[in-house]
Amino acid sequence: MKALLPRHLLTVSAIALTLGLGQAGAQQAGQDISPEASQQAQEAANNNEPLSANPDATAGQVMPGSFADLVEQVAPAVVNITTTSVISQPTGGPSFPEGSPFSDLFRDFGFPGMPGPGPGGRGIPPQRSNALGSGFVISADGFIVTNNHVIDGADEIEIEFYSGKRLPATVVGRDPNTDVALLKVDSEDALPFVKFGDSDSARVGDWVLALGNPLGQGFSASSGIVSARNRELSGTYDDYLQTDAAINRGNSGGPLFNLQGEVIGVNTAILSPNGGSIGIGFSMASNVVSTVVHQLREFGETRRGWLGVKIQDVTPDMAEALGLASEKGAMVTDVPDGPAKDAGMRAGDVITSFDGGEVQDTRSLVRRVAEAPSGEAVEVVVMRDGNPEVLSVTLGRRELAEGTGGEGGAPAEGGGSSDVLGMTLAPLTPELAMELGVSRDMRGLVVNEVDPASAAAEKGLAAGDIITEAGQQPVTTVAELNARIDEAREAGRKSMLVLIRRAGEPRFVALPVAEEE
């Protein structure tokens, strides 16, 4: 897929204060579904049955005369999500290049949105901001799925149900790699819920229905078709359905239904030059989401399989040189210590099958390995010297191998995640480099999180940035970065020049390093 410009690829959450909508986004349940449908939804919840469309109404239907029956059936499981968080500075001020004299002028007069102290040396106080998103209930006991970016950094999360009832929610677990989060509410009554469908069975041209809370306007439905499948945007595990159903800001985390009332996608992003829908929206495929949700529900975190190899796609020239019938498969370029090496895999092997499924390329292998349970043995077929070899590989856990796992996990080489200058940093591994879309040979520190009240946030650093130099010296570990900071302080400098790379593009940033008195 052609690379998408970052300014055009937008997540579809919304800021309530920016839009000035306040509580205008009420669900307005009574205007959309009948009392009979509401009663049926509650009875289904009490019987622990998912909401679904009438099979007689959708069987063999090519073009529905109306989506009204489908909306009425599944709407009670769709929710509005409002999050509250503290931001270091208000938004909306003018933007100037770093070092511009206009930036200093507006900062001196305390213009909103400009970093630094206001009149009299007083800093701009942190402010609370509300953000809006969507979600859907997947169990009668209150588990709710949404996008991770909807709730990331939130201090408070409130769920508004279709009935108008509001409940606080807690985060059960989240996965930034697929932008999925699982929430939980405690309700005295059973909650209407929906189930996941098989996204692999969705065909280009199939009708779909998107429900959510666009632009804070409250419950809204839009219809369209599946425009494309297997879209890859930026992550290792991406598997998006593209749709022309209208998706706008505030739809983040909302469900994409098929005509049977099953969730086949989670609305996540749009491609847009202006921030509004132009008919190119992306929903993370339900087969990816359901696997992540199952792990979050059981463990509170993901537990992906890890093979332990470095791989590259097989080109036609390579296939011809190796005597392969086609360029399918994943070429093994290196086998460091890990599960694959223990099973006898070698550099130069071409992986053609994993756990009974054909391997088309490196992307399909990475996804299949990630979906496989860690700690279990799987059969891997490799082509070696023109002959197939069957290896039994007991998969490790990727999060532990990368140093991102939970308690008891082994840190990545050079140390695990650490907080430095308001940033949570971790060493850049080849696997993370591939996930971030940069060279596997790049070395540095990945920014996992940035404190919104820190100087790093004021300088524009964000999660996903890669720090490759500090003080004009390469850094590959947190210890090396701390050493550069100490050197700058010992030299009496108040700031340190840091080289970051975002989407492969380099940029120098001067970060304050002076110790607080």
d(CA 191, CA 185): 10
**pLDDT for residue 1 is more than 80:** no
Interval 459-504: pLDDT, tens = 888 888 888 888 778 888 888 888 888 888 888 777 777 888 887 6
Q: What is the dotted CATH code of the domain comprising 418-512?
A: 2.30.42.10
Q: Is residue 256 within 8 Å of 265, Cβ to Cβ?
A: yes
DSSP three-state, residue 355: coil
Instruction: Identify the active-site residue in 32, 149, 227, 349.
Output: 149
Q: What is the pLDDT of residues 282-317, one digit of tens each?
A: 999 999 999 999 999 998 988 888 898 888 888 887
- In DSSP terms, 128 is beta-bridged to 86
Q: Say which range, 66-75, 96-105, 378-387, has the weakest mean pLDDT.
A: 96-105
Show the tokens assigned to 106.
């507006």
CA triple 221-222-224, angle to 5 deg:
150
- CATH number for the region 306-399 comes to 2.30.42.10
Q: How many CA atoms lie within 13 A of 274 on its CB side?
A: 4
Residue identified by tokens 């390579």 is 318
Question: Which residues lie across from 419 on neighbouring strands?
Answer: 424
pLDDT at 120: 45
Q: Is the pLDDT of residue 80 over 90?
A: yes
Q: What pLDDT sits at residue 409?
A: 31
The pLDDT tens digits for 296-305 are 999 898 888 8
**Residue 8 bears catalytic tag:** no
- pLDDT, position 6: 45
Give me the catalytic one of 252, 272, 290, 418: 252
C-alpha to C-alpha distances, 358 to 332, 362, 382, 431, nearest whole angstrom: 16, 12, 11, 22
Q: Does 294 show up as a binding residue in the annotation? A: no
Answer positive or negative: Cα dihedral of 267, 268, 269, 275: positive
Q: What pLDDT does 29 receive?
A: 42
**Comparing C-alpha atoms, which of 15, 145, 1 is closest to residue 84?**
15
Q: What is the separation of C-alpha 397 from the centre of its chain, rounded to a whole number of angstroms? A: 20
Token pair 């947190």 is found at: 478
Is 252 tagged catalytic? yes
Cα separation, 501 vs 29, in Å, equals 47
**Domain map (residue ranges) of the chain:** 67-86+127-302, 306-399, 418-512
Check for a shared fold between 67-86+127-302 and 418-512. Answer: no
Query: Is residue 428 helix, strand or coil?
Result: coil
149 is in an annotated binding site: yes
Is 272 annotated as contributing to ligand binding?
no
Are 464 and 436 a contacting pair, CB within 8 Å? yes
Q: How far is CA 437 from the centre of its chain?
A: 15
Architecture of the domain spanning 67-86+127-302: Beta Barrel (2.40)
Write out pLDDT tens, residues 416-457. Answer: 456 788 888 888 887 777 777 787 778 888 888 888 888 888
Which is the catalytic residue, given 152, 179, 349, 465? Answer: 179
Comparing CA positions, the residue from 151, 5, 10, 1 lying closest to residue 505 is 5
* Catalytic residue check, 149: yes
Structure tokens at 401: 């191998």
Least confident of 50-54, 67-71, 443-447, 451-455: 50-54
**C-beta neighbour count of 369 within 10 angstroms:** 26
